[in-house]
Amino acid sequence: MPLSAGDIRRIADLGRIDISEEQIKVMQGELNDIFQMIEEIRSVDTEGIEPMPNPHDGVERLRDDVVTEGNNRSENMKNAPEKSEGYFLVPQVIE
């Protein structure tokens, strides 16, 4: 069902959009082209076709999610240029 110029005007009015007659003609053509493509897609017979959630059947090669090191505070603090009471000290950035 193609859109008329009146339909475009009504949609523009609902959106409080000021649109010229030239813009209405352009939008009418573009929207009707989009609706035509949608109708072509909807007309395809997909009966018996299994949905394809992912076009790649391969398995992702990810490493196992295992803990390799615990929280070693004393080892981390060795590298800190400045520290106090077990915390890293950083330069003040906000006054």
76-92 pLDDT, tens digit per residue, is 888 888 988 888 899 88
Closest C-alpha among 3, 14, 11, 12 to residue 39: 3
Domain map (residue ranges) of the chain:
5-42
What's the CATH fold of domain 5-42? Histone, subunit A (1.10.20)
Q: How confident is the model at residue 3 (pLDDT cuts 50, 70, 90)?
A: very high
Residue 23 pLDDT > 90: yes
pLDDT at 70 over 90: no
Distances (CA, A) of 1 to 5, 33, 66, 90: 13, 11, 57, 65
The angle, 0 to 180 degrees and rounded to 10, between the axes of the packed helices 21-42 and 5-14 is 100
Mean pLDDT in residue range 45-62: 83
